Structure 1
Amino acid sequence: MATETKTGGVDQPRSYSVPMIITLGFLVSMGALHLDPIASSLPAMATALGVAKNATVYTVSAFFFGMMIGHIAIGPFSDIFGRKKTILFGLVLLAIGSASCAIAPSMQILLAARALQGLGGAAVMCTGRAVGGDAGKGKASASMLSYMQVVSAVTPIIMPLLGQSVSAAFDWRAVFWAMAMMNVALIVAVALFLKETSSTAGREGAFSSLAKDLKVVFTQPGFILFAMTFGFGISTFFCYVGASAFVFQNELHMDPGTFSVLFSGLAASMVVGGLVSSFFTRRFEPFAFVVTVFILQCIDAATVIYLFKTGQATIPVIAVLFGFIACTTSIVIPVGLSLALSESGAIKGSAAAFCGFAQYCFSMIVTSFLGTVKATGSVGQACGVAMVVTTLGAIITAFAGRAVIRKRDAALSADTSKLPAQNAH
């Protein structure tokens, strides 16, 4: 890995090795690695634990809750102790949480264990994103995060099929044991391939210095708004993830095995989205690119509402509409994240943590909303409504963020233009 240098005060992009990029791709895939394997098992879990048929969607919400808290409680540590140590700590928590899920005797214990998984996943995911952000500013970070997304997009293809195969051969508890083994494998990969990229870890007075940096970054409304844009954008995808098992199996009457194949097929579109993102991020301005995607997603979500409301929803059509959400999420993740991280200065670990907090806060709310749908209600229609809300939220905060940044830059430019006249005077 090349060392970051400065020329004329401009940060030069870092270059990462191929094994490191592949490892990072898996590290930022915590959602796919710990949500997708159990997607087809959610109805069966409800039966085994004696709860309502769609109540196990709360296992998704519990994971999101842990991710939300973990991003704030653990995420910033990578700026103090280093990226690699923070990732290893998170993977250990994930392994423990996965094993706890496997032996959970009740729904309540299972939810607590899922939250523990989320805590570990937050440390891993946000720190992995911070390593991608360390590659440089603007197009440099967007490009590196897009390469990571291409690798990450492979996991949603494999994980549903793996989860279904394991649960069919054994039961849903065995899926959590498989998750624990995957986390151990990632510990080995991180130890072998991941290099430290933090420029702030280990510095003298790290806590006080971080507090000062945080005060600067988190008083920037542009960063806050772009972080919210990212959070809204990713929660659109988790509306689909949280609802899909119930939409296809309960409402459209698809069997679990066929659903797993379909779910993996839809996930394959994320690879296409990642390739599209890696191509266009080097050629187009990130803001316009990602806002265009949000608008198209909003139209897609409105169509989902219409089809379920009018009783015209069919498996092929809903699969195409959900597939578009999956595909374009591979654009939203790297491009939306790069907008926020480019405003964060050196403390990209803390900035990525806040972006993740926004992501999982919004995702927890929308998946909890889906869990409240009554047995006689339509989860598909509720999913469409939630996706319209999240896409509109992303569009509004994106434009608001750009407006305040332009206003700030104009003010700085005006102040700079006065300096020569003041010095001459």
Structure 2
Amino acid sequence: MHPRLPVSRVRLAVLLGALAMFGAFSIDTIFPAFPAMAADFRASKVAMQQTISVYLLAYAAMSLFHGPMSDAVGRRRVILGGVAVFVLASVGCALAPDLNTLLAFRVLQGLSAGVGLIVGRAVIRDCLDGEDAQRLMSQVTMIFGIAPAIAPIIGGWILGFADWPAIFWFLALFGAAIWLATARWLPETHPPARRRAFHPAQLWHGNLAMLRNRAFLRLALAGSFNFGALFLYISSAPAFVLDLLGLNEQQFAWFFVPTISGMMLGAYTSGRMAGRISGPRLARLGFAVCGLAVAVNVGYNLLVGAPAAPLAVLPMMLNAFGIALVFPILTLAILDMYPHQRGAASSLQAFIGLGFNALIAGLVSPLVSHGGLALALTAGGFTFLAWWLWFGYMRRHHVVPGPVAEAAALEPTERL
């Protein structure tokens, strides 16, 4: 065991991966239930899409606070409190009598669901450095990647013998199990001597300072646009799977299993390559794979016209592989810019990404999910913007920043 690891690496990876699953489970498990929920609430497809966008907006807003709160009072307390709120919010969703009540509890879910993912990143960086941190980050990504693959499958199975509220009861039970596991196995990794008092004014000014740091902003936006190419398909899954591919509520696995398999394979490859290939080189490889996925996806939709499984989902599998190669490099670089404010840096990175995801789910997806080519071209545009931001960052900085480059990363001249 690494001298700074308070628990075995395998147990920590499993626990942090499970904590990170809340976000994906809260989104993807309910996709098969959209038609049934819309019928019960007499709601349109656009109205049902708001169950995703309001959740993501709340997730993004609260993500600004999870990390700084954990910097102030410790990682463990914040995680346990957030998971407890998630359980209560899931019960509220299950009992919701109308769409407005459901949306209110979805907001509460969003306010709590990000705690495991955001604070978990800080836990990793508390315990490990360099390639060891990259390996653990990749292992957590592999475990987390299971959630989007199995969540809609579980949702479809539940609908086979129960009504849609049973999906939220499942989420409540899942959250309760994770709370018990966290209470038993997750020690505190951020001791009192390293904590920083939580002051809203300081948080505001600290976030503004990070946003003025061009290196931080480029990396955060690059990660957001790169994942946004895949999230466009995830948020459009009901339309993509049911309408474009012509499958039913029990066949979401045709989309999610290949896609998340690509992400898990990419995360495994990233972990294996840690220490063998430099971070910038691995990121370049990941962006090259994402670019190839875009070319294949656009070409397929131009040639075929009407997408069909399984060929229509193979580009997403390739894209997810490339994203998983890039993500650990970008995230660790961001955390290493602010070694004394890792929670705050993780929070702001998550806020930027989640805010963008909320815009995709609420605005972009309804506009382009009517056709395969529109989806492919929009996703391709996101990938290009991600690469352009990364290229601009590398041209200026040449290397991924680490602790030794902290002073350069914090130069006051690094302003927009």
TM-score normalised by the chain length of structure 1: 0.84
Give the equivalent residue in structure 2 for 1:51: 43
Question: Are residue 88 (structure 1) and residue 74 (structure 2) matched?
Answer: no
Structure 1: tracts of 5 or more residues without a match: 5-12, 416-425
Root-mean-square deviation (CA), in Å?
Answer: 3.1
The residue matched to 2:127 in structure 1 has which SS? coil
Question: Are residue 349 (structure 1) and residue 343 (structure 2) matched?
Answer: yes
Give the equivalent residue in structure 2 for 1:240: 233
Contact 1:80 1:201 in 2 (8 A): no
Give the equivalent residue in structure 2 for 1:418: none
The residue matched to 1:111 in structure 2 has which SS? helix
Give the equivalent residue in structure 2 for 1:143: 135
Give the equivalent residue in structure 2 for 1:326: 320
Going from structure 1 to structure 2, the CA distance change for 1:3 and 1:52 (only over 3 Å counts) comes to same
Going from structure 1 to structure 2, the CA distance change for 1:339 and 1:200 (only over 3 Å counts) comes to farther
Which one of 154, 163, 166 corresponds to residue 155 of structure 2? 163
Going from structure 1 to structure 2, the CA distance change for 1:380 and 1:89 (only over 3 Å counts) comes to farther
Which one of 369, 372, 382 corresponds to residue 380 of structure 1? 372
1:261-410 matched pairs, under 5 angstroms? 262-308=255-301, 311-373=305-367, 378-406=370-398
Structure 2: tracts of 5 or more residues without a match: 412-416
Going from structure 1 to structure 2, the CA distance change for 1:201 and 1:256 (only over 3 Å counts) comes to farther
Give the equivalent residue in structure 2 for 1:134: 126
Deviations 1:316-342 (A, max 9, x none): 211211222333343343233122112
The residue matched to 2:339 in structure 1 has which SS? coil
Distance 1:393 1:286 in 2: 20
The residue matched to 1:28 in structure 2 has which SS? helix
* Pairwise CA distance, 1:33: 1.9
Deviations 1:372-425 (A, max 9, x none): 338xx724333323312321222122223334435996996xx9xxxxxxxxxx
Going from structure 1 to structure 2, the CA distance change for 1:305 and 1:244 (only over 3 Å counts) comes to farther
Question: Are residue 39 (structure 1) and residue 34 (structure 2) matched?
Answer: no
Give the equivalent residue in structure 1 for 2:414: none
Going from structure 1 to structure 2, the CA distance change for 1:269 and 1:406 (only over 3 Å counts) comes to closer
Distance 2:406 2:190 in 1: 31
Distance 1:184 1:328 in 2: 34
Matching residue's letter, 1:367: A
Distance 1:291 1:332 in 2: 8
Give the equivalent residue in structure 1 for 2:175: 183
1:197-276 matched pairs, under 5 angstroms? 197-198=189-190, 203=195, 205=197, 207=199, 217=210, 219-260=212-253, 262-276=255-269
Distance 1:91 1:360 in 2: 19
Between 1:88-97 and 1:328-337, the stretch displaced more is 328-337
Larger Cα Rg: Structure 1 or Structure 2?
1
Matching residue's letter, 1:160: P
* Pairwise CA distance, 1:132: 1.7
Distance 2:381 2:315 in 1: 16
The residue matched to 2:30 in structure 1 has which SS? helix
Contact 1:95 1:180 in 2 (8 A): yes
Going from structure 1 to structure 2, the CA distance change for 1:61 and 1:135 (only over 3 Å counts) comes to same
* Pairwise CA distance, 1:223: 1.9
Going from structure 1 to structure 2, the CA distance change for 1:385 and 1:100 (only over 3 Å counts) comes to farther
Contact 1:230 1:358 in 2 (8 A): no
Matching residue's letter, 1:66: A
Matching residue's letter, 2:327: I
* Pairwise CA distance, 1:70: 1.0
Question: Are residue 116 (structure 1) and residue 116 (structure 2) matched?
Answer: no
Deviations 1:191-241 (A, max 9, x none): 111122225677475649975876765543212221222222222221121
Going from structure 1 to structure 2, the CA distance change for 1:385 and 1:63 (only over 3 Å counts) comes to farther
Distance 1:321 1:257 in 2: 22
Distance 1:76 1:172 in 2: 36
Going from structure 1 to structure 2, the CA distance change for 1:363 and 1:385 (only over 3 Å counts) comes to farther
* Pairwise CA distance, 1:348: 1.0
Which one of 14, 21, 27 corresponds to residue 22 of structure 1? 14
Deviations 1:72-117 (A, max 9, x none): 1333211111111111111112112212221223333322222221
Going from structure 1 to structure 2, the CA distance change for 1:364 and 1:143 (only over 3 Å counts) comes to same
Matching residue's letter, 1:90: G
Distance 2:155 2:339 in 1: 40
Distance 2:407 2:119 in 1: 33
Going from structure 1 to structure 2, the CA distance change for 1:118 and 1:355 (only over 3 Å counts) comes to same
Contact 1:15 1:135 in 2 (8 A): no
Going from structure 1 to structure 2, the CA distance change for 1:331 and 1:110 (only over 3 Å counts) comes to farther
Going from structure 1 to structure 2, the CA distance change for 1:403 and 1:371 (only over 3 Å counts) comes to closer
The residue matched to 1:126 in structure 2 has which SS? helix
* Pairwise CA distance, 1:15: 7.3
Give the equivalent residue in structure 2 for 1:8: none
